[in-house]
Chain A
Amino acid sequence: MRFAVVQFGGSNCDRDTHHVLAEVCGVETDLVWYKDGLQQPYDAVVLPGGFSYGDYLRAGAIAARTPVMQDILRHAKEGRLILGICNGAQIGSEAGLVPGTFTLNAYPKFISRHVHLRVENDTSPFTSAYRKGDVIKIPIAHKEGRYVAPPGVVETLNREGRVAFRFCDEEGQVTPESNPNGSVENITGILGGSACNVMVMMPHPERASETVLGSDAGIRIFNSMITHIEQHG
């Protein structure tokens, strides 16, 4: 099993994500510089957080148009796993891996804090280690993280079970107060791909993967991916 973490100029969670996959989860993981492309088939590709191209133009817009994305779209079409975290989620939506887009927070400032998420789907390759309704504590750190999509798209996401996570309060209630950035229906984890083999999310699971840092509730996302790869090859 081999994971790739793609590094764009301006990625800054690439080494963090590599650390959690390689050192904490113990899976072989390559850091892949975007200019080098995917030079071998990977079981999973992670688009890490950061500020690719300094968020110039729109967050993720330029990275989504680099040549490496052709490799990544092919990888997705083959049904293999892609996880986009924070800037990786913005790149994923810009590349059309999921519908909708991430835009400026409702209160238009960067926001870095621990929030709670309610798990909405426990069958996808990214969430099978959770039970539906679980409440997990996880950090967010973004300025353009408000998920928006037309009503019809949101309805489809809900109907097809493609909402993975919603912001909620400590008790799991999805309320306006527990929505830190104004995302539609508090959505912050979206599943894409023909077999829900793509997930993008604004919160940082790699920052919630070791108890010494305050929470290990996020590591089950990586563990779900590993289990899925073990079972499906």
Chain B
Amino acid sequence: MVSVQDLELLRRTLQRDLTDVEVACFDNLWSEHCSYRSTRPLLKTLPTEGPAVLLGPGDDAAIVRFSDTCAIAIGMESHNHPSYVDPFDGAATGVGGIVRDVLSMGARPIALMDPLYFGTLDAEKNRYLFEHVVSGIGDYGNCIGVPVVGGDLGFDPCYAGNPLVNVVCVGTVHPDRFLTARVKKPGTRLVLVGSSTGRDGLGGASFASRDLAEDAEAEDRPSVQVGDPFTEKLLIEAILEMAEIGKVLSCRDLGAAGLAGASSEMASTFGAVIHADRVHLRETGMTAREIMLAESQERMLLEVEPEDVALMGAIAEKYDLSWSDIGEVIAEPRYVVTFHGETVADIPIDLLVSGAPLCPWERRPYQAETAFVRPATPVKELALRVLAHPDVAEKTWVTEQYDKDVQLQTVSHSRDAAVLRLEDAALVLSSGCNPRHIYLKPYEGTANTVIENASNLACVGAEPLCIVNCLNFASPVHPEISWQLEQSVLGLGDMARTMGIPIVGGNVSLYNESDEFNTQIKPTPSIGMAGKSDEVRRWKPAEEGDLLMLIGATRPEFGGSVLDAVTGCGGMAPALADPAVVAVVRDLGRSGVVTAATDLSRGGLLAALAKLAPQSRVELAGDPLEELFAETYGRFLVACRDESALAGVEQHRVIGKVGGDALTVAWDGTSFAITPEELETALATTTRIMRY
């Protein structure tokens, strides 16, 4: 609910009591989810501009030029709290929401990525959440025909009781023809298209800005929306057909805070009168407050000229969608709601959409790194345990549930970055972050996340175009979390500036804590990155006889590594890497002298070898633990026919050769071999656990 202080401020400003509809509007629109009260000054520090950016943050999705005839619309959202309460529907509607954000730009949604973070798979509840979140994403994305081409998957005890479900959606639109979500002129009509409105999801925006109490599941179930992907698919085709004829002046998806949120933000360039009684409903007896705040899914609000209303209605009906003409844009900066002739809200629109006072939080640094304690376990056993950790193991149990090929654009997926053909070039996508590293070093860890995603793109020769982010954190009421959030955002912005990648949109999800498990999530500023390559390259493994080369220097950075996760060895988290190596590898990839490339991330060199050259022989130069398991950023494993391919590349060395009947690792006169069967068994761990 609106805090006592906020309510007092509003009474003073308006010099009267608020109606219940007004209170409800402020409750939702002044929530963190809608107004970024805790993070606005911090978010302002991020670099958002670049020559390719046609529309930056602030609209439903950003627009970035891909070519003279094609722009991408890109957005990223979280649906964390609903996915804990009802994992299937929570995750499904998370997909639906971000797809409509892209659609509201007049763009056809073409790809999805899902960074997901769960508690460990030894607990039945975490397996349940994992299974149903994946099903929810799959059922929704598959049905609407938008391929899930990538994502991230992390497991850590901190997410028990608070899993994270983030979704990136990318669409395409002509660079001169995208829509925005701001009304263009007074006198126009506001037309609501799509599902009828019911009492589902009441108060979802304020629900999202709260931590989860023990009884969250039972008590909050009415706050979770249920998705209908069939209607969403009809909505996609209908809205695109309406946009195609050029009669849509502006367009907005109904998401958090329902019609109140969408109509007030959309009309904030002028003002609006909404007739709540004209909304098509699926339940009887709904009050104005319920109609304005309900988060029923699959609804869009369009601004059209009065003479075009009937035409829009006809297109909606072609697709069996309901619609209603629910209001008009007015010149006065007021947000007015009427219900059966009675005015139930009348508020200065600026106060509603941008008047929320900021919440300053106290910040206090912390230090969580511990000294490295060398595990006594034999190296081969450590290797198998690292490979079997679900952060490293094969993700086919997940990715097979997603239709990756619909729309005939997916060239390559599931490795480093996804490659989609787009016109005669490639759109390359990557997403994720490393929460364990970021927890230990919030600034460096988040900066390294930018490098890591750009590295994924470089492996297929692509240059970054833009970043979207989803800042998932615990409650900033704790000074340590507030500091963590600040450091993380600064690290993100600084590295994005250094690498010249604009951050064009994002979402903030705070209060990710669980009373039930007494946990706070580790900082999880997951990002989505889109890039372009002029040539379409498919990711492929190394070939028999190739030399294996390691680019970049390795340091004993074990803190937050997968080795740390399986042994508790501790150690320092990776320091800030030098991003210059990314462009070097990108050029190598483009020149065609390397047959395969992958960057080193979770699971270090060992995981990279398992992926790129599972049957090969490598010779380590130093400490085997450091060489195999450290997760220093800015490193790549590449395969090429001969060493001259890397002439002039700093800090590279030959570490082995592809071939043989196992993955053989030798150092200092000793060695071990992992047979293909052992490797397959370790990498199949997630599938084995989940397929019961």
Contacts and interface: CB of A to CB of B under 8 A. Distances in A.
B404 A112 contact: yes
Given A12-B145, A111-B400, A113-B400, A54 B408 contact: no
B144 A9 contact: no
Contacts of A111: 400-401
Contact of B230 (A16, A35, A51, A207): A51
A110 B401 contact: yes
Given A35-B318, A54-B143, A110-B138, A13 B230 contact: no
Given A51-B229, A56-B230, A212 B145 contact: no
B514 to A, nearest CB: 28
B369 interface: no
Interface string B217-233: 00000000000111101
B320 A9 contact: yes
A26 B691 CA distance: 44
A54 B320 CA distance: 13
A213 B143 contact: no
Given A10-B234, A50-B145, A141 B406 contact: yes
Given A35-B318, A51-B229, A53-B230, A110 B142 contact: yes
A107 B407 CA distance: 26
A112 B230 contact: no
**Interface-centre pick from A9, A49, A55 (highest chain B CB count, 10 A):** A9
Interface string A197-226: 000000010110010111000000000000
Contacts of A15: 407
B658 interface: no
B406 A13 contact: yes
Contacts of A9: 230, 233-234, 319-320
Contacts of A10: 143, 230, 233-234
B586 interface: no
A207 B147 CA distance: 13
A112 B144 contact: no
B536 interface: yes
A139 interface: yes
Nearest to B138: A110
A19 interface: yes
Contacts of B400: 109-113
B135 interface: yes
B403 interface: yes
B437 to A, nearest CB: 31
B135 A109 contact: yes
A39 B67 CA distance: 39
Contact of A16 (B142, B318, B406): B406
Nearest to A15: B407
A51 B233 contact: yes
B411 A213 contact: yes
Interface in A84-139: 107, 109-113, 139
B139 A207 contact: no
Contact of B228 (A54, A141, A213): A54
Interface in A36-54: 49-51, 53-54
A12 B109 CA distance: 12
A13 B142 contact: no
B421 interface: yes
Contacts of A212: 411, 421, 536
B328 to A, nearest CB: 31
Contacts of B143: 10, 12, 51, 54-55
B30 interface: no
Given A13-B406, A19-B408, A51 B142 contact: yes
B534 interface: no
A117 B140 CA distance: 28
A107 B691 contact: yes
B229 A54 contact: yes
**Interface-centre pick from B403, B407, B536 (highest chain A CB count, 10 A):** B403
Contacts of B558: none
Contacts of B691: 107
B469 interface: no
A51 B139 CA distance: 10
A160 B300 CA distance: 52
Contacts of A53: 230
A35 B318 CA distance: 8
A176 B143 CA distance: 28
A10 B298 CA distance: 14
Contacts of B538: 214
A66 to B, nearest CB: 12
B35 interface: no
Interface of A: 9-10, 12-13, 15-16, 19-20, 33, 35, 49-51, 53-56, 107, 109-113, 139, 141, 143, 204, 206-207, 210, 212-214
The 6 closest A-B pairs by CB, nearest first: A12-B145, A54-B230, A51-B143, A141-B403, A16-B408, A110-B401
Given A210-B408, A213-B405, A213-B411, 18 more contacts: A15-B407, A16-B407, A35-B318, A51-B142, A54-B143, A54-B233, A107-B691, A109-B135, A109-B401, A110-B139, A111-B400, A112-B142, A112-B403, A112-B405, A206-B408, A207-B406, A213-B410, A213-B421
26 contacts: A10-B230, A12-B143, A12-B145, A13-B145, A13-B406, A16-B406, A16-B408, A19-B408, A20-B408, A51-B233, A54-B229, A54-B231, A54-B233, A55-B143, A110-B139, A110-B402, A112-B399, A112-B404, A139-B405, A141-B406, A207-B406, A212-B411, A212-B421, A212-B536, A213-B405, A214-B411
